[in-house]
């Protein structure tokens, strides 16, 4: 597939795992750096426009556009994402049967929740990505619910006697 078509496909990939989108985008940008280096700026702008809340897409775009060797920067970025152990480390320190309130689709937190499977995720639907994340977590065997914007305060309420951990006491939910 031509890199421009690959990037168009990725720009339309709403609800996809941000790290996967970024890794795929890195491969396409590496090819693009050879074929049409001037096209990197609009390509990165389109990716960011379509994945506004995906931190890895911003990170990749900044690295590639700011590099002297843009092809190498794209390839190195994909390799770094593959080696990243942050999600596994986060998963290892989450208390058993805890509840976590997340906003949008924080990729590392989502991956940690998928790894664990025994942590309840209350997902605030920011940027229209909450429902897709909820489905992804449920498909992986986890417990997840979408929290309406008006229910964020109640979902974030914690037990006043936390016994060294935070616990959700109530939440407004929809999409269950």
pLDDT value at 62 more than 70: yes
pLDDT value at 168 more than 60: no
| Span 89-136, pLDDT tens digits | 989 998 887 888 888 777 788 888 888 888 888 888 876 778 888 888
43 in Cβ contact with 32 (< 8 Å): yes
| Domains identified in the chain and CATH numbers | 3-83 (1.20.120), 87-174 (no CATH)
- CA separation for the pair 168, 113 (Å, rounded): 16
Q: Partners of 167 in the beta sheet? A: none
Strand order in the sheet with 173-174: 99-103, 120-124, 144-147, 173-174
- Which one is predicted more confidently, 171 or 54? 54
| Span 12-44, pLDDT tens digits | 887 677 888 899 999 999 999 999 999 999 999
Q: Identify the band that residue 6 occupies on the pLDDT scale cut at 50, 70 and 90.
A: confident
Strands 173-174 and 144-147: antiparallel
pLDDT value at 160 more than 60: no
Task: Determine the pLDDT at residue 96.
Answer: 82
- 42-46, 73-77, 85-89: least confidently modelled range: 85-89
Residue 4, SS3 per DSSP:
helix
Query: DSSP readout, 69-128?
Result: SHHHHHHHHHHHHHH--HHHHHHHHSPTT-EEEEES--HHHHHHHHHH-SSEEEEE--TT
Torsion angles phi and psi, residue 63, rounded to 5:
-65, -45
- Which one is predicted more confidently, 6 or 152? 6
Whole-number average pLDDT of the chain: 82
Q: What is the mean pLDDT of residues 150-169?
A: 57
Task: Determine the pLDDT at residue 163.
Answer: 45
- CA separation for the pair 58, 56 (Å, rounded): 5
Q: Identify the band that residue 158 occupies on the pLDDT scale cut at 50, 70 and 90.
A: low
Q: Partners of 173 in the beta sheet? A: 147
Task: Determine the pLDDT at residue 167.
Answer: 43
């Amino acid at each position: 597939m031509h890199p421009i078509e690959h990037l168009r496909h990725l720009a339309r990939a709403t609800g996809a795992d941000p790290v996967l989108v970024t890794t795929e985008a890195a491969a396409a940008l590496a090819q693009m750096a050879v074929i049409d280096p001037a096209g990197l700026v609009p390509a990165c702008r389109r990716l960011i426009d379509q994945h506004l809340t995906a931190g890895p897409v911003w990170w990749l775009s900044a690295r590639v556009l700011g590099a002297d060797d843009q092809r190498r920067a794209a390839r190195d970025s994909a390799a770094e994402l593959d080696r990243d152990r942050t999600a596994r480390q986060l998963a290892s320190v989450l208390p058993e049967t805890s509840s976590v309130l997340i906003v949008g689709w924080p990729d590392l937190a989502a991956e940690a929740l998928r790894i664990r499977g025994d942590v309840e995720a209350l997902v605030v639907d920011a940027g229209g990505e909450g429902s897709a994340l909820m489905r992804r977590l449920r498909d992986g065997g986890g417990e997840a619910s979408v929290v309406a914007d008006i229910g964020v305060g109640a979902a974030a309420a914690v037990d006043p006697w936390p016994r060294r951990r935070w616990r959700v006491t109530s939440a407004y939910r929809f999409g269950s």
